[in-house]
Amino acid sequence: MIEVSYLEKEKNVEALEIKGHANYADEGQDIVCSAVSAIGVGGLNALENIDDIDIICEKGYISVKGKGLNSGHNQIVIRTIIIQLYTIEKSYKKFIKISKS
């Protein structure tokens, strides 16, 4: 299962973590993993001024945090990632779980 967690304080997303594998299908055929990866990596590519953002992007793991996320543009990007992931969760609840703290 893919686990997504994000930290929100004072209406700003301060951190986002995506980890695990959906196990919906065999590697290379897993549409849930592919969708989550595309959303996560695509979102990372849209962030601006990443010098103030700690980003880890490895197979099965994405972590994003840092004061650079507080810019208006980066908040829109991070929130768009989260909204897209919630959309996937609606259809594939057995394979992705999102939690907010």
Q: What is the pLDDT of residues 26-46, one digit of tens each?
A: 989 999 999 999 999 999 999
In terms of Cα–Cα distance, which of 68, 66, 70 is closest to 54?
66
Please tell me the predicted confidence (pLDDT) of residue 31: 97
pTM over 0.85: yes
Q: Are 87 and 4 in contact (CB under 8 A)?
A: no
Tell me the pLDDT tens digit for each residue of 49-86. 999 999 999 999 999 999 999 999 999 999 999 999 99
Please tell me the predicted confidence (pLDDT) of residue 29: 96
Please tell me the predicted confidence (pLDDT) of residue 64: 98
Please tell me the predicted confidence (pLDDT) of residue 78: 98
List the structure tokens of 20: 């695990």
pLDDT category, 8, cuts 50, 70, 90?
A: very high
List the structure tokens of 60: 């099965």
**CA separation (Å) from 82 to 13, 25, 27, 29, 49?**
10, 23, 24, 23, 20
pLDDT category, 5, cuts 50, 70, 90?
A: very high
